[in-house]
Amino acid sequence: MLVSRLHAAGDVRLHTEEPPAPAGADDRLVEVTSVGICGSDLHWFTEGAIGDAAVARPLVLGHEMAGVIRGGPDDGVRVAIDPAIPCEQCEPCREGDVNLCLNIVFAGHGSCDGGLRQFMAWPAHRLHRLPDSISDDEGALLEPLGVALHALDLAHMRMASTVAVVGCGPIGLLLIQLALRHGATRVVAAEPLPHRMAAAERFGAEHADESKAIADVVFEVSGSEAAVDTALRLAKPGARVILVGIPDGDRTSFSAAQARRKGLSLVLSRRMGEVYPRAIDLTARGLVDLKPLATDVFPLKDINAALTAAAARTGLKVLVHPHD
């Protein structure tokens, strides 16, 4: 099978390898059909690291994934692949916070290979059956939708709130849709790239006046210090600010005086909990539209071009089809 491995920052190489064998009765061999490139993949690609984790061996990136089970009792079933395997034994897991698992195994991170390959073996209980109404590309986009859902849960948003979204990549655009579905009466968006701002407006957001503190809830989905500053300016006194973006260099700074004087609650969001069933239900019912997010598709053999396009941010979501 064809496999893409990151050897160091900017160094992605194609390899030919044997397909993996399922390790146990709960594992399934999955033919990977669609993989989204995430901002965290770009940290790996451009920095050779993310946060305090660095490339220790050639790593297969990719954690936004869909595929088809091949062989075994579920042969032919189309699935979305939850990239996280929590231990289910540590204290956060026992308390229901599986995204904070102390021993989590995550696709495309650390020592666990991700989805930018033609086949992968994965536990059956982390595979979610896709209805016929959801395409493989939409199945891959359920992962960023899950991240957006988790951030929305952290916001404790009330009906008739005003919401600000700072950074209108795919997760920001999904948060706009979710906030409006969740009862926000107004959503404003701040985004420096014109094509992404235009997408935010198509999904129902207004262009934010960044000098006005109008939002009850703010989602910061960029990771840049400028975006965090904008988020704090848009927040009303007493607002809740959810930091979803991952910063370059593992550092975030902001005006402490502004945050303190407004009495803001800053909440950091990490990945997602067990939200795939909700994400599938929202998509299948047409309550969230994933299709417009998929703007670029590349075959796996052009992975360097795909990563370069994603880093350039000329579109919205770059997808890779491993078998094209």
Q: Give the fold, CATH level 3, of 2-129+290-321.
A: Quinone Oxidoreductase; Chain A, domain 1 (3.90.180)
- The answer to whether residues 10 and 43 touch, using CB atoms and an 8 Å cutoff, is no
pLDDT recorded at residue 320: 98
- Determine how many CB atoms are found less than 10 A away from the CB of residue 299: 14
pTM: 0.95
Sequence spans of domains, the chain = 2-129+290-321, 146-268
pLDDT recorded at residue 319: 98
- The answer to whether residues 156 and 239 touch, using CB atoms and an 8 Å cutoff, is no
Q: How many angstroms separate the CA atoms of 60 and 49, rounded?
A: 13
Burial of 220-247, coded b for 16+ CB within 10 Å and e otherwise, reads bbbbbeebbbbbbbbbbeebbbbbbbbb
Cα-Cα-Cα-Cα dihedral sign, residues 247, 299, 107, 138: positive
Mean pLDDT, 10 residues at a time, over the chain (324 residues)?
94 95 90 95 85 85 98 95 96 95 94 96 97 98 98 96 97 98 97 97 96 95 92 97 88 87 94 95 97 97 96 95 94
CATH architecture assigned to 146-268: 3-Layer(aba) Sandwich (3.40)
